């Protein structure tokens, strides 16, 4: 377990105090930390209190909440609804600090690189802020600059998060399939991608290339010669946010058609999708085109993933619960046996909510995320791309609900399902699938003689080992061991008590005037009585007695004081 650095102790105390102030004092104590005062009993729901904690702890933790808000496979829906409300309420950095980063990254003064550069940012967030500028040729651009010192702060907070996660492991029960350490690992992977603006630039360029022939979708151009790891210079798009079309049904309907078409192309043709298409990242340009912004969160889909999503999409539109359940089961990794019948019943229950309903009829919580949550409850672990895609679909569902509440969403997407089904059953696709199947069969048949020879060679050489696994065998061995301990203690108790009775029965003179035999008999009887109580205690409290855990804790204490484990 990683230790907490001395320089981090102040921050750890601050985190503990904030947790306690919002009613998480008991959890802090379970994690082995201390704080001043007593835990506060707060009546607010857990999810809301967690959002307030993250907001109080600053940019790293706000970003943690934002990253988790697009991962329904990690956190439950009620937490996602709260985490979505987290906003980067961060005052802008001083322009002198921004100037220093620009000149370090671009290797020249701001005046030499830009004709004008506005000192007041257009937007300010936890990781970066965006300034409007004009290049020497008169092109208007948006310059995204990483906040000064943010990498060092995130690195320090990540170390603290890992330390706290290791402390919480085994002491706090986290819902879902992830451990506290696993959650921090997912966050670290996401935050490192967002800190690298070159990665965002590559995503922008790929997205722009994918839509180069689509005249209704606009993606900002990246100016590579002025883009570095901490500075991203891109074309400035002017327009209004998609959410501002509320109440304008005709314009909103046209934009939703473009958004659905763009989503279809991203998922089913390009295999690369925008992972956070909330209204703030979607602009309606003056000519009606739809612009995409902020590519910090994206997802990539392999051909196999696309096949799974096609199957899920078609099954969902045509209300085939069994196909949905089997597709999700085959797409994920499982922990233990899965109740497929129960899983299918849950899928059917969810589909009833969508059947023939308009968006206004559905509850605010009804979304594709529920299918991911159901899979998690049945211990089916899906790859992160599926979870991010489900959350993307949920965001688009929320936009449609806001702009066009009387639309039947299933009816709207049915033509896309028919298009996919037609493509899947086309002669070219069926022919290609048949060829791949024949190729795989040929390889399998060709390898059979080699594998059979290897099997016979291993059998002849005595290196082939057959092993059976019984999940209840360890429990049986543990029970037999406990029973053996009780039998030995019982026999030892009986022997001591019998010997005590024999030694105390006769009255014989003792040497030096001391009744030695009587004393030994009395001592044996008392020892037998003690062992009798030990047998009873072992029988009654065996579920609470964990010798290995005791040894582990003793070893930890010993290493703390003496530096190495006792032999």
User: Average pLDDT, stretch 429-450?
Assistant: 67
**Active site residues per annotation:** 276
Q: Is 342 helix (H, G, I), strand (E, B) or coil?
A: helix
Residues 394 and 487 in one domain: no
User: Average pLDDT, stretch 287-292?
Assistant: 91
Residues 419 and 519 in one domain: no
What pTM does this model have?
0.64
> Which tens digits make up the pLDDT trace of 225-281?
999 999 999 999 998 888 788 777 788 888 888 888 898 889 888 989 998 888 778
Residue 159 predicted with pLDDT over 70: yes
Residues 528 and 446 in one domain: no
Q: Is 443 helix (H, G, I), strand (E, B) or coil?
A: helix
Phi, psi angle pair for 312, to nearest 5°: -65, -45
CA neighbor of 334 nearest in space, from 186, 175, 170, 177: 177
User: Average pLDDT, stretch 206-213?
Assistant: 93
Residues 331 and 385 in one domain: yes
Predicted pLDDT at 34: 62
Give start and end residues of each alpha helix (H) in 69-179. 77-83, 95-106, 110-113, 150-168
Q: Using CA atoms, how far apart are residues 301 and 409, in angstroms rounded to an integer?
A: 24
Average pLDDT, the chain: 76
Residue 122: inside a domain: yes
The answer to whether residues 326 and 310 touch, using CB atoms and an 8 Å cutoff, is no
Residues 183 and 40 in one domain: yes
Residues 506 and 551 in one domain: yes
Residue 212: inside a domain: no
Residue 562 predicted with pLDDT over 90: no
Predicted pLDDT at 96: 93
The answer to whether residues 503 and 518 touch, using CB atoms and an 8 Å cutoff, is yes
Q: Using CA atoms, how far apart are residues 170 and 357, in angstroms rounded to an integer?
A: 43
Could you tell me the two tokens for 318?
């045509």
Q: Position of tokens 């230790």? A: 3
Predicted pLDDT at 202: 94
The answer to whether residues 281 and 292 touch, using CB atoms and an 8 Å cutoff, is yes
Residue 159: inside a domain: yes
Residues 398 and 444 in one domain: no
Q: Per-residue confidence at 101, pLDDT binned at 50, 70, 90?
A: very high
Residues 443 and 507 in one domain: no
Residues 396 and 432 in one domain: no
User: Average pLDDT, stretch 123-141?
Assistant: 90
Q: For a pLDDT cut of 70, what percent of the chain falls above it?
A: 66
Residue 206: inside a domain: no
49 Cβ contact list (under 8 Å, min separation 6): 22, 23, 24, 42
Residue 491: inside a domain: yes
> Which tens digits make up the pLDDT trace of 452-506?
777 777 777 766 666 666 666 666 777 777 677 767 767 767 776 676 666 555 5
Residue 561 predicted with pLDDT over 70: no
Residues 499 and 420 in one domain: no
Q: Per-residue confidence at 547, pLDDT binned at 50, 70, 90?
A: low
Q: Per-residue confidence at 364, pLDDT binned at 50, 70, 90?
A: very low
Q: Report which of residues 409 and 130 the model is more confident about.
A: 130
Q: Using CA atoms, how far apart are residues 38 and 56, in angstroms rounded to an integer?
A: 19
Rg (CA), the chain: 33
Domain range for 93: 1-195
Residues 387 and 494 in one domain: no
Q: Per-residue confidence at 363, pLDDT binned at 50, 70, 90?
A: very low
Q: Position of tokens 């290791």? A: 166
The Cα-based distances of 321 to 98, 315, 333 in angstroms read 54, 7, 20
Residue 208 predicted with pLDDT over 60: yes
- Number of structural domains (the chain) is 4
User: Average pLDDT, stretch 513-528?
Assistant: 66
- Most confident option among 70-74, 277-281, 286-290, 349-353: 286-290
Residues 408 and 436 in one domain: no
Q: For a pLDDT cut of 90, what percent of the chain falls above it?
A: 16
């Amino acid at each position: 377990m990683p230790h907490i650095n001395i320089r981090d102790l102040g921050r750890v105390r601050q985190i503990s105090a904030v947790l306690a102030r919002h009613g998480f004092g008991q959890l802090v104590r379970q994690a082995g930390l201390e704080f001043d005062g007593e835990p506060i009993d707060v009546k607010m729901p857990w999810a809301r209190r967690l959002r307030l904690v993250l907001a109080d702890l600053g940019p790293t933790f706000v970003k943690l909440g934002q990253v988790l808000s697009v991962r329904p496979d990690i956190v439950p829906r009620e937490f996602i609804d709260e985490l979505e409300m987290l906003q980067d309420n961060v005052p802008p950095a001083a322009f002198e600090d921004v100037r220093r980063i620009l000149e370090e990254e671009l290797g020249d003064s701001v005046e030499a690189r830009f004709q004008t550069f506005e000192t007041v940012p257009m937007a300010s967030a936890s990781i970066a802020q965006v300034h409007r500028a004009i290049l020497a040729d008169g092109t208007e651009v948006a310059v995204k600059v990483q906040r000064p010192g943010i990498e060092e702060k995130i690195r320090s907070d990540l170390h603290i998060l890992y330390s706290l996660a290791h402390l919480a492991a085994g002491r706090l029960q986290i819902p879902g399939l992830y451990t506290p350490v696993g959650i921090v690992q997912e966050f670290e992977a996401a935050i490192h991608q967002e800190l690298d603006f070159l990665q965002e630039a590559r995503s922008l360029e790929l997205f722009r290339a994918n839509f180069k022939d689509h005249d209704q979708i606009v993606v900002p151009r990246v100016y590579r010669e002025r883009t570095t790891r901490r500075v991203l210079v891109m074309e400035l798009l002017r327009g209004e946010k998609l959410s501002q079309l509320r109440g304008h049904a005709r314009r909103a309907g046209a934009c939703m058609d473009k958004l659905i078409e763009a989503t279809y192309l991203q998922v089913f043709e390009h295999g690369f999708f925008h992972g956070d298409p909330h209204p703030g990242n979607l602009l309606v340009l003056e000519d009606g085109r739809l612009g995409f912004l902020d590519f910090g969160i994206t997802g990539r889909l392999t051909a196999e993933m696309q096949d799974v999503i096609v199957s899920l999409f078609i099954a969902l539109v045509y209300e085939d619960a069994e196909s949905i359940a089997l597709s999700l089961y085959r797409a994920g990794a499982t922990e233990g046996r899965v109740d497929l019948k129960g899983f299918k019943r849950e899928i059917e229950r969810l589909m009833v909510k969508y059947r023939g309903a308009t968006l206004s009829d559905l509850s605010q919580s009804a979304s594709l995320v529920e299918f991911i949550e159901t899979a998690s409850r049945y211990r089916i672990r899906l790859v992160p791309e599926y979870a991010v895609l489900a959350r993307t679909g949920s965001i688009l569902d929320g936009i449609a609900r806001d702009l066009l509440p009387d639309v039947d969403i299933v009816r709207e997407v049915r033509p896309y399902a028919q298009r996919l089904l037609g493509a899947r059953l086309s002669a070219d696709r069926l022919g290609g699938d048949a060829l791949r199947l024949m190729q795989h069969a040929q390889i399998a048949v060709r390898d059979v003689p080699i594998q059979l020879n290897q099997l016979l060679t291993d059998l002849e050489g005595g290196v082939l080992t057959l092993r059976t696994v019984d999940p209840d065998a360890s429990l049986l061995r543990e029970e037999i061991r406990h029973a053996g301990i009780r039998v030995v203690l019982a026999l030892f108790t009986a022997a001591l008590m019998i010997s005590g009775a024999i030694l105390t029965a006769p009255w014989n003179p003792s040497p030096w005037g001391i009744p030695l035999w009587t004393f030994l008999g009395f001592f044996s009887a008392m020892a037998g009585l003690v062992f009798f109580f030990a047998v009873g205690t072992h029988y009654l409290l065996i579920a609470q007695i964990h010798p290995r855990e005791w040894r582990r804790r003793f070893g930890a204490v010993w290493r703390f004081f003496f530096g190495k484990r006792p032999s």
